[in-house]
Amino acid sequence: MEKVKKILVNTTVMTLVAMVLGAIFGIIFGETMGEFKFIGNIWLDLIKMIIIPLVFCLMITAIADQEDAVSLGRISIRTLVFYVITTLFATIIGISAAMILKPGLGISLEGLTAVDVSKPAELTAQTFITSLFSNNIFGTFSSGNVIQTLVIAILLGVAVLKMKNKEHKEFVLKGFRSINDVIFLYINMVIKLAPVGVFFLLADTFGLYGFSIFTSVAGFIGTFWVGIILLMLLVYGSSLWMFARMNVFTFLKKSMPVWMFTLASCSSSASVPVVIKSAKEDFNVPDGIAKFGLTLGSQINSGGSAILYPAVLIFISQLYGIELEFSTFISMAIVATLLCTTSGGVPGGGIVMMLVIVETFGMPVEVVGIIAGFYRFIDMGTTTSNVLGDLVGTICVSKWEERTIANNKAKASNLAS
């Protein structure tokens, strides 16, 4: 009886059960389940409302807790390098999976309804760089601009790090740490409601599309998920073994609460407290590195999206019989990598960026609207792989930094003797 009680209170297990039951109820009762979607939306709103203070306070304390500007710079560069390199590998996997599995051959999308996808403002280097900076901190917070909030937090965090008066610095940090404690407690409360929210969200999705999700675009969604699995096993698995001597399956077992939450919430930012807790408790990552690497990664690391974008292009080219040259594949890899590491502040996320990349390569955009209708099944994969990529990167940087500190101490000891 005691074991049964433990299972029932285990949010991770209950969320998995809720996902299965949601799919079953959606298929059985159809669009009727859509009338209860508002319950799932309330749960998502409870998560979204805390994202801005979460990112702001976490990044400030993560930077201010570093030993000095030198160690901060070293950790920052290593984190960015890891994210960019793994994202590039992810684009290659996305291209390879789509070319080998050919999801766009021999299928018809007739009868499927396309979702309207608004075209974003023109993206240029100038507009992107300008969009990173805010002229009104409260305006940024009220508009929910996460990427600007991140930049503000980084600048203020560096300012706190450079404070000369230790008493004042500790006073400021104590305030932000206290707010962090409240945010983490709040997130823990919301996480316990995950099974309820997930049930109604999945029930609505399956009620709307029924078994059509297993036909039509099933080949594309399957190809995408094959890419996600390959990214996890090959890229993240080899990184974990290289830096931490850790088996990828051990990693997945330890991080189960993380990827169960991301499958349910489809929010990288909201998962930050969950993944920080896992990084510190399950993988012994120091607090400062965990907060910095995971908060930054939630905005700039997008391995799952890097698989999605080139796969969409190849899927469309196969649908319409468009021949692609080798140079086009090179361009796909470069453009997808750049978009994934710089599009954290673009409203609409993955769907909008799909439209951007399809238009960039001059392909028919109608298919994007159809894929958007099934996007939750894709978003579950992109968010989960993105967040697990953040965790892998943070673990690897932590081990890298650990070795650097040990080497520096050894050199200092040799010089002293």
CATH number (domain holding residue 74): 1.10.3860.10
CA distance 278 to 273: 9
Residue 415, in any domain of the structure: no
Q: What is the pLDDT of residue 348?
A: 46
Measured distance between the N- and C-terminal CA atoms of the chain, rounded to whole angstroms: 63
Structure letter (DSSP) for residue 12: H
Domain range spanning residue 30? 2-408
Residue 94, in any domain of the structure: yes
Q: What is the mean pLDDT of residues 261-288?
A: 86
Which band of pLDDT confidence, cut at 50, 70 and 90, is reported for residue 89?
very high
Q: For residue 12, what are the contacts with CB-CB under 8 A and spacing of at least 6?
A: 256, 257, 260, 261
Residue 297 predicted with pLDDT over 90: no
Residue 49, in any domain of the structure: yes
The two three-digit tokens of residue 250, written as one number: 């051990």
CA distance 253 to 162: 40
What pLDDT, in 10s, does the model give residues 128-155?
678 788 999 999 998 888 888 888 999 9
Q: Which of 168-177, 258-267, 310-319, 387-396 has the least mean pLDDT? A: 258-267
Task: Say if residues 239 and 396 touch (Cβ distance below 8 Å).
Answer: yes
Q: What is the pLDDT of residue 396?
A: 95
Q: Which of 64-78, 160-174, 249-263 has the least mean pLDDT? A: 64-78
Residue 117 predicted with pLDDT over 70: no
Find, among 217, 213, 273, the residue nearest to 57 by Cα: 273
Of residues 188 and 351, more confidently modeled? 188
Q: What is the pLDDT of residue 5?
A: 42
Residue 417, in any domain of the structure: no
Q: What is the pLDDT of residue 209?
A: 66
Phi, psi of 322 (to 5 degrees): -85, 125
Query: To 10 degrees, what angle do helices 146-161 and 287-300 make?
Result: 150
* Tokens 């997130």 belong to residue: 187
Find, among 178, 150, 156, the residue nearest to 64 by Cα: 156
Q: Which of 115-124, 184-193, 195-204, 304-313 has the least mean pLDDT? A: 115-124
CA distance 12 to 258: 9
CA distance 183 to 189: 10
Residue 416, in any domain of the structure: no
CA distance 388 to 271: 10
Which band of pLDDT confidence, cut at 50, 70 and 90, is reported for residue 96?
very high
Residue 283, in any domain of the structure: yes
DSSP 257-296: HHHHHHHHH--TTTTHHHHHHHHHHHS---HHHHHHHHHH
Q: What is the pLDDT of residue 132?
A: 81
Q: Percent of the chain, pLDDT > 90?
A: 27
CA distance 336 to 354: 10
Residue 122 predicted with pLDDT over 80: no
* 347 CB neighbour count, 10 Å cutoff: 11
DSSP 334-394: HHHHHHHHH-TT-TTHHHHHHHHHHHHTT--SHHHHHHHHTHHHHHHHHHHHHHHHHHHHH
Of residues 359 and 345, more confidently modeled? 359
Residue 145, in any domain of the structure: yes
Q: What is the pLDDT of residue 345?
A: 41
Q: What is the pLDDT of residue 406?
A: 82
The two three-digit tokens of residue 230, written as one number: 């390959």
Which band of pLDDT confidence, cut at 50, 70 and 90, is reported for residue 171?
very high
**What's the pTM?**
0.82
What pLDDT, in 10s, does the model give residues 199-239?
888 888 778 766 655 566 788 889 999 999 999 999 999 99
Which band of pLDDT confidence, cut at 50, 70 and 90, is reported for residue 166?
confident
DSSP 91-115: HHHHHHHHHHH-TTTT---TTPPPP
- How many domains, in total, are found in the chain? 1
CA distance 349 to 377: 15
CA distances in angstroms from 179 to 56, 151, 333, listed in the order given: 10, 19, 41
Which band of pLDDT confidence, cut at 50, 70 and 90, is reported for residue 248?
very high
Find, among 312, 318, 322, the residue nearest to 374 by Cα: 312
Task: Say if residues 66 and 288 touch (Cβ distance below 8 Å).
Answer: yes
Q: What is the pLDDT of residue 416?
A: 67
* Tokens 């940090």 belong to residue: 173
Residue 156, in any domain of the structure: yes
Task: Say if residues 87 and 303 touch (Cβ distance below 8 Å).
Answer: yes
Which band of pLDDT confidence, cut at 50, 70 and 90, is reported for residue 121?
low
The two three-digit tokens of residue 283, written as one number: 């993988």
